[in-house]
Structure 1
Amino acid sequence: MKKLHSLTTLTLLTVFSLNATAAIVLDRTRAVYPGGAKSISINIKNENQTLPYLAQSWIEDSEGKKISSPFVILPPVQRVDANQKSIVRIATVPAVDALPKDRESIYYFNLREIPPKSDKANIMQIAVQSKIKLFYRPQQIIPERNAVWQDQVTITKQGLALQIHNPTPYFITYVGLAHPKGKEKTSIKGFSAVMVAPKSDMRAAIPEAVGNNFIISYVNDYGGYIDLTYQCSGNNCQVRKGE
């Protein structure tokens, strides 16, 4: 009986073709919608070389609920031919005027690929879904190009935690922590990414204590990872001048 069970399991595993590689891909890892803009565009591409795919898009709020206001997607569903590019537009409706004017608001842009129906038997098809942060940035707080506000954040050491104070009107996401080592750095493994809301404080757990100098990495508007070196006086830490 054991041999029969093993043979059956092996047969079931081999009759399915499983491919979880995304065909429809985005051109970014986050999007910023500047207040006053009529719309913004997100570029997508079907990287499958032979098959057309449908691309379904929608917006979710901070709680993961699908919404149709204050943002709309144009078009919500479209066909993208093999190895071709297309555009998804995000536009606002009048309800956007009710959003806070003194800080960013966060939403999530979702993109799901829908593969063509296979004419082969015993094929398991996987619909891959991408999800990125969508920040609405009111006109009143749109910074100058290449401005850096992340260096205004102060951090207090609390043993195996960092108390992060974000006085800015922007969301800030931290993705890495490291010890400085000359001109290099030694990454601290096990640090979990955290996002600090505008004008708020957050306590972030860290896998090991940091010294009087440490490096923390944030994500900029373009999805790049940027290092900031903090220098501490006691437990109170600020960005090192000239960094």
Structure 2
Amino acid sequence: MNLSFVTKGLLCLMSLSGLAHATVSPDRTRIIFNASAKSVSVRLTNQSKTDPYLAQSWIEDIHGKKTREFISPVPPLLRIEPDEQAQVRLMAQQRLNQLPADRETLFYYNVREIPPKAEQQNVMQIAMQSRLKLFWRPKAIELKEGQYLPLDKVTLSRSASNLVFKNGSPYYITVGYIGLNGKTLLPGAESVMIAPFAEASQKLANLPAEFHIGYIGDYGGLEMFKVSCNAVQPTCQSKPVNKG
């Protein structure tokens, strides 16, 4: 077999999968599971106008290991008709009571689409998969409706090439944007997730004295902050950006 031909084929497949979009898509980008609720529902949409799809769901722990001991999806496999929706319920299990009561615990909800069998022969089908962060939130730290994450508990400092985030809250805090004006990303900027009561850093060269940070809220939107600090004053000052 011509290895060059195989290599080219694999590269082509990789480029196609990078451009592909899931046909079965969840109704959110992250899931908050409050301890006061027995379950939380995720709505899945089959965006195909012609074909039914199967959707397979499962939960992983923070290490990527499959688990049904804490949260279990019901049903784990379902059929969704063309251009229709269906719900998966994530059910609380007894072992959740063994998790820390003073901070969030991170899981991942996964859903993989299974397309119908192709009618033609020698047709390659690609099954897409979505992976959502699932935050288990104990009763002691549940937020009321309309209440925001305490982003004032996040402090920033900088060095010559690093931006350091210190999370003093019991919540997972995700940085979705590091840039100049809310639109332009800084070169090398990536998403950062800081665990409760922990630190994380982002390597950034030539960080300006003033820039913007966008934290991802419970519903997926960005809460923007204007940040100022320099090499002389490494501890950063942050203030919310006025919306509108």
TM-score bracket relative to the smaller structure: 0.7 to 0.9
Give the 5 Å matches for 1:110-125.
110-125=110-125
- Gaps (5+ residues) in structure 1? none
When the two structures are superposed, what TM-score results if normalisation uses the length of structure 2?
A: 0.86
1:197 is matched with 195
Which of 209, 216, 229 pairs up with 2:213?
Answer: 216
The offset of 1:96, in angstroms, is 0.4
Structure number with higher strand proportion: 1
Deviations, residues 154-196 of structure 1 (Å, cap 9, x unaligned)? 111111101211100000111221235xxx7643132011100
Deviations, residues 62-81 of structure 1 (Å, cap 9, x unaligned)? 00000011111100000001
Q: Quick check: 2:224–2:241 contact (8 Å CA) kept in 1?
A: no
Q: Quick check: 1:44–1:86 contact (8 Å CA) kept in 2?
A: yes
Q: Quick check: 2:111–2:130 contact (8 Å CA) kept in 1?
A: yes
Cα RMSD (Å) of the superposition? Answer: 2.5
Amino acid at match of 1:97: N
Percent identical: 36
Please list every run of at least 4 consecutive aligned residues from structure 1 whose deviation after the TM superposition is greater than 6 angstroms: none
- Gaps (5+ residues) in structure 2? none
Q: Distance in 2 between matches of 1:75 and 1:82?
A: 19
Counterpart secondary structure, 2:180: strand
Question: Number of matched residues?
Answer: 229
Larger Rg: 1
Counterpart secondary structure, 1:176: strand
Q: Distance in 2 between matches of 1:31 and 1:192?
A: 21
Q: Distance in 2 between matches of 1:59 and 1:215?
A: 34
When the two structures are superposed, what TM-score results if normalisation uses the length of structure 1?
A: 0.86
Counterpart secondary structure, 1:236: coil
Q: Distance in 2 between matches of 1:20 and 1:242?
A: 35
Q: Distance in 2 between matches of 1:75 and 1:52?
A: 17
The offset of 1:140, in angstroms, is 0.2
Deviations, residues 185-231 of structure 1 (Å, cap 9, x unaligned)? 643132011100001112221243231x3211111111112211123
